[in-house]
Amino acid sequence: SRWLDGLRIRKSLALVCKGWAWPATELLYADIVLRRMGQITALAHTLRTNDHHSPLSVLVRALRMDYCVVFESCADVVRSDLEFLLSECTNLLSFSFHSHPLFPFSPDQVKGTLFQDNDAQHFDGFNPSWILEPKYEAGEALAERLASRLSTLDIAVTLAERHIFQIALMLVHATSLTSLSLGRVTSLLPGASLPAIHLPALTTLQVHLDHEPFAEYITTQWRMPRLTALTCLWSGAVPVPLLATHASKLTYLH
């Protein structure tokens, strides 16, 4: 693929000569995609043990977890390493999490989603949605990145009410966020007690609006004064109330 070709080129540049080593290393670590759980642990090990004058963690600008399934036997180690990555990569500007559609969440996270508790017994692995669970430090670490300089957040996961609440808590302080993409919401009680959200820098929003309580939440409790691009991935009807509230500066609507 073109992405793999680009990765090979970036790796090769770092080996050309000493003069190219650091600039090429900056390029290599700027955009990282994690597709296997072993890559999370390997990256964490590299960042912990690097002998460069400057820590490699500050070079990471974009981190994407793409169909990255974790096995139960390795869960504790991988979770600890992911928490380390989110804590140490303080210059992170973009974070994406795309779950694997054929695997459930871990057994203690599956309640309130499309899966039942016993579904996890039929799978060897699960989607590591620790960032959506308040009892894990991964969510706290991501919230810290949002409160500092993270500008792009892409959570392509089926979301239940507990997940929406956790995301809302993270977004409360996301003053630098310019682009937000969220997965489909499956359950949210009408009038649920959720915090008001003010996203002063947000210009691009991509959401599913087929769940009316979630659409109402965005309409009534979100402030997005700079929103210029709105993508509705699915909706049963034209979201007129939402557009009346947030469309004053739109230049793109899909």
pLDDT per residue as tens digits for the range 163-210: 999 999 999 999 999 999 999 998 888 878 899 999 999 999 999 999
Q: Which two tokens stand for residue 145?
A: 């990145």
**What range does the domain containing 133 cover?**
35-253
For helices 75-88 and 37-49, what crossing angle results, to 10°?
A: 50
Are residue 144 and residue 25 in the same domain, yes or no?
no
Q: What is the pLDDT of residues 147-168, one digit of tens each?
A: 999 999 999 999 988 899 999 9
Whether residues 124 and 248 share a domain: the answer is: yes
pLDDT, residue 111, reads 41
3-class SS at 247?
A: coil
Query: What is the amino acid identity at position 100?
Result: H
| Same domain membership, residue 111 and residue 18 | no
- Give the predicted TM-score (pTM) of the model: 0.85
3-state secondary structure 186-199: CCCCCCCCCCCEEC
Say whether both 13 and 77 belong to one domain.
Answer: no
Distance CA 76, CA 123 (A): 17
Asked whether residue 17 falls in the same domain as residue 131, the answer is: no
How confident is the model over 6-63, as pLDDT tens digits? 656 565 655 555 555 666 678 788 999 999 999 999 999 999 987 665 688 999 999 9
Q: Please, are residues 29 and 56 in contact by the beta-carbon 8 Å criterion? A: yes
Statement to judge: residues 54 and 158 lie in one domain: yes
Alpha carbon distances (Å) from 241 to 215, 229, 247: 9, 17, 10
Does residue 221 share a domain with residue 103? Answer: yes
- Clarify whether residues 17 and 127 are in a common domain: no
Q: How many structural domains does the chain have?
A: 2
Contact present, 83 and 138 (Cβ < 8 Å): yes
